[in-house]
């Protein structure tokens, strides 16, 4: 029996089963291929989503650290006129966090890096300019503070001498006590005169330092707007820069007006209205 006769002898139902099974196999193969493709696409999407999430989390951590350092630097600029706070302490607070700003160059886009670099350069300029202004005022402040401490000790000695005179202490010569008391009073007046001379120069210098630090803060606030815009854009967050700038300008104008009102009030005060030199310096500082 040849092959043709053998094929011809196979029942038609058998061919139907064969063809049906073939279609089933083809259908299963196509389904499996489609499912495999969908799973591969799903896994690729999940990997991309995980990578995006990790990238956003990393950027968020870096930018939060950078903005904390920026806030510390701006606070330092605003506190330059606080003479009670040592300069080294001001610098130490910022230097401990300044490295966080440099991390932006590792994760930020070019536009973000450019904005942060511009702000950092302006912050450095403010540090240098205000440091030069404060240096001269610091010397005067330390001199006045030293003289004020001597005045306090002299007043304490006067109280002791007055008490000794009133007790009529037999162990001490009243004439000697009186001469010592007169000497301490003259010494106190001389010290107060020196403090007044220093304050006459220092208080206006402190006022200028306060004004300069406030202007620097206002300028830095404006330079902060493009930094916030770029960072929020990277994190997929919206930002109304025009509204932010308007808010900053209004707040700064109000702050400058308040400061001018304080300075005008100090200028209008009669001489000796503030009982102590420390009060003058504290008012100017505020």
HEC string for 45-103: HHHHHHHHHHHHHHHHHHHHHHHHHHHHHHHHHHCCCCCCCCHHHHHHHHHCCCHHHHC
Residue 283 has pLDDT above 60, yes or no: no
Exposure string for 37-56, b = 16+ CB within 10 A, e = fewer: eeeeeeeeeeeeeeeeeeee
Rounded-to-integer distance, Cα 199 and Cα 207, Å: 12
Residue 122 has pLDDT above 90, yes or no: yes
* Contact call for residues 134 and 88 (beta carbons, < 8 A): no
Q: Is residue 186 part of a domain?
A: no
Rounded-to-integer distance, Cα 267 and Cα 284, Å: 11
Q: What is the pLDDT of residue 51?
A: 66
Q: Is residue 116 part of a domain?
A: yes
* Contact call for residues 76 and 82 (beta carbons, < 8 A): no
* Contact call for residues 217 and 78 (beta carbons, < 8 A): yes
Q: What is the pLDDT of residue 190?
A: 94
Share of the chain above pLDDT 90, in %: 27
Domain range enclosing 44: 13-127+202-285
38-94 pLDDT, tens digit per residue, is 777 776 766 766 667 777 888 889 999 999 999 999 988 988 888 888 888 888 878
Q: Is residue 168 part of a domain?
A: no
The whole-model pTM stands at 0.68
Rounded-to-integer distance, Cα 170 and Cα 81, Å: 52
Of the pLDDT bands very low, low, confident and very high (cuts 50, 70, 90), residue 117 is: very high
Rounded-to-integer distance, Cα 253 and Cα 249, Å: 6
211-239 pLDDT, tens digit per residue, is 899 889 999 999 999 999 999 998 888 98
Q: Is residue 250 part of a domain?
A: yes
Q: Is residue 144 part of a domain?
A: no
Nearest CA to 64 among 251, 239, 234?
A: 234
12-47 pLDDT, tens digit per residue, is 666 566 667 776 777 777 777 777 777 777 767 667
**Overall domain count for the chain:** 1
What percentage of the chain's residues is helix, strand, coil (to nearest 5)? 85, 0, 15
Q: What is the pLDDT of residue 35?
A: 73
Mean pLDDT, residues 165-188 taken together? 82
Q: Is residue 154 part of a domain?
A: no
Share of the chain above pLDDT 70, in %: 81
Q: Is residue 242 part of a domain?
A: yes
Range with lowest mean pLDDT among 38-47, 99-108, 210-219, 263-272: 263-272
Q: Is residue 211 part of a domain?
A: yes
Residue 196 has pLDDT above 60, yes or no: yes
């Amino acid at each position: 029996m040849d092959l043709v006769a053998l094929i011809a002898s196979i029942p038609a139902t058998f061919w139907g089963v064969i063809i049906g099974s073939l279609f089933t196999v083809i259908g299963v193969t196509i389904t499996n291929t489609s499912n495999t493709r969908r799973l591969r696409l799903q896994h690729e999407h999940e990997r991309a989503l995980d990578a995006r999430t990790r990238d956003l989390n990393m950027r968020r951590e870096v930018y939060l650290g950078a903005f904390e350092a920026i806030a510390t630097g701006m606070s330092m600029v605003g506190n330059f006129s606080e003479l009670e706070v040592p300069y080294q302490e001001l610098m130490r607070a910022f230097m401990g966090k300044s490295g966080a700003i440099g991390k932006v160059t590792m994760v930020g886009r070019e536009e973000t890096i450019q904005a942060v670099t511009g702000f950092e350069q302006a912050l450095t300029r403010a540090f240098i300019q205000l440091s030069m202004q404060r240096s001269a005022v610091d010397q005067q402040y330390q001199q006045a503070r030293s003289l004020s401490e001597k005045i306090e000790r002299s007043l304490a000695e006067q109280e002791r001498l007055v008490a000794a005179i009133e007790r009529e202490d037999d162990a001490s010569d009243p004439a000697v006590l009186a001469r010592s008391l007169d000497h301490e009073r003259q010494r106190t007046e001389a010290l107060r005169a020196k403090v007044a001379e220093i304050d006459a120069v220092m208080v206006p210098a402190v006022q200028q330092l306060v004004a300069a630090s406030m202007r620097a803060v206002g300028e830095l606030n404006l330079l902060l707007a493009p930094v916030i815009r770029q960072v929020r854009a990277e994190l997929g967050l919206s930002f109304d820069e025009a509204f932010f700038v308007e808010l900053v300008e209004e707040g700064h104008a109000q702050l400058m007006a308040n400061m001018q009102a304080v300075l005008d009030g100090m200028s209008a005060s009669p001489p000796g209205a503030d009982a102590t030199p420390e009060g003058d310096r504290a008012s100017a500082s505020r």
